[in-house]
């Protein structure tokens, strides 16, 4: 029989039973899970996954900081492992940097700027963990994290860790082999360029100012960042087109459903506008936005935000 007390005692991890996932996502929405297990190191994660593997019949989902996630109002039936640490774990030697996947991506961007490591400045201000950034091949300003990845350590469902190279990750735009697999990213080694801290710190300051101008502070305005992926270019020589532009043209900023709305400065960011907002409100609003773009432009929008639970 699955014993949460034994799990808590054996590995000294925090376990919350019937936890409200709304408290652990940046959207501040969603129902409960049977248990929420907090893992702050790769060792804890491996121990907990091994425990689940021994049980066989118990299912689980792994999340990070919950920044690119919309959880159903009904919650989920699986246990949830939260692999996230407020403390950042980085180590670099020359132009290579190893980072634990539970660390924040923005902390990594700051560290690189301070240490004079060029290649991850674009990640300044992007919420979420490094693991989530690798799984979704996070990017901004025409750059993607996959371009500076050397190797990734992954944990499989049986609790075994192995190292894969960047090519084996099968990166594509906002996607990788990890997005819909049972593999968990535990550590990443980046290949960067040695530089001077001064210009990198200035770049970071400028990018943070730009984000503050166009993006909401998710700690004050609950959201999950850009909801839809940008549109693939029809010509390989062209750049992707911002989904926000098409949403602007169909009047998305004026749309709302229940307590869900659209951020006034960015048509591709859905927000929890009122306290009575539900995850279903956000989902229905996203469908309305998709339909408007399809009818006007014949373009099918693809969600960037991960949906967890039942939305039917």
Alpha carbon distance 262, 227 (integer Å): 10
Which token pair is 1? 């029989």
The reply to whether 172 belongs to the active site is no
The active-site residue out of 28, 82, 104, 174 is: 174
The HSE-up count of residue 57 (CA atoms within 13 Å, CB side) is 3
Distance (Å, rounded) from C-alpha 236 to C-alpha 259? 40
Q: H or E segment at 10?
A: helix 4-11
How far, rounded to the nearest angstrom, does the alpha carbon of residue 155 sit from its chain's CA centroid? 18
d(C-alpha 215, C-alpha 264), whole Å: 9
Of residues 67, 85, 226, 286, which has the active-site annotation? Answer: 226
Phi and psi, residue 190, nearest 5°: -105, 145
Tokens of 97: 């940097």
Active site residue 174: yes
Q: What DSSP character marks residue 122?
A: G
Q: Which residues are catalytic?
A: 174, 226, 304
């Amino acid at each position: 029989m699955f014993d949460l007390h034994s799990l808590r005692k054996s590995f000294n991890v925090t376990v919350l039973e019937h936890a409200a996932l709304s408290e652990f996502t940046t959207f501040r929405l969603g129902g409960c899970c049977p248990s929420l297990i907090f893992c702050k190191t790769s060792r804890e994660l491996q121990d907990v996954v091994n425990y689940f593997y021994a049980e066989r019949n118990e299912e689980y989902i792994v999340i990070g900081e919950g920044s690119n996630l919309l959880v159903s109002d009904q919650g989920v039936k699986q246990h949830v492992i939260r692999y996230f640490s407020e403390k950042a774990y980085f180590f670099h030697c020359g132009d290579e940097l190893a980072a634990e996947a539970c660390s924040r991506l923005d902390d990594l961007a700051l560290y690189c700027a301070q240490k004079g490591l060029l290649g991850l400045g674009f990640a300044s201000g992007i919420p979420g963990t490094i693991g989530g950034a690798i799984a979704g091949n996070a990017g901004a300003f025409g750059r993607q994290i996959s371009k500076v990845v050397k190797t990734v350590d992954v944990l499989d469902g049986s609790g075994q860790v192995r190292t894969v190279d960047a090519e084996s990750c099968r990166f594509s735009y906002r996607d990788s082999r990890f997005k819909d697999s049972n593999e968990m990213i535990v550590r990443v080694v980046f290949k960067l360029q040695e530089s001077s801290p001064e210009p990198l710190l200035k770049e970071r300051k400028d990018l943070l100012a730009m984000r503050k101008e166009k993006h909401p502070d998710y700690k004050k305005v609950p959201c999950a960042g850009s909801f839809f992926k940008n549109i693939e270019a029809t010509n390989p020589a062209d750049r992707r087109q911002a989904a926000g532009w098409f949403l602007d043209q169909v009047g998305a900023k004026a749309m709302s459903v229940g307590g869900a709305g659209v951020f006034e400065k960015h048509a591709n960011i859905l927000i929890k506008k009122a306290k009575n907002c539900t995850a279903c409100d956000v989902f229905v609003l996203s469908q309305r936005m998709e339909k408007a773009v399809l009818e006007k432009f014949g373009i099918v929008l693809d969600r960037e935000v991960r949906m967890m639970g039942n939305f039917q």
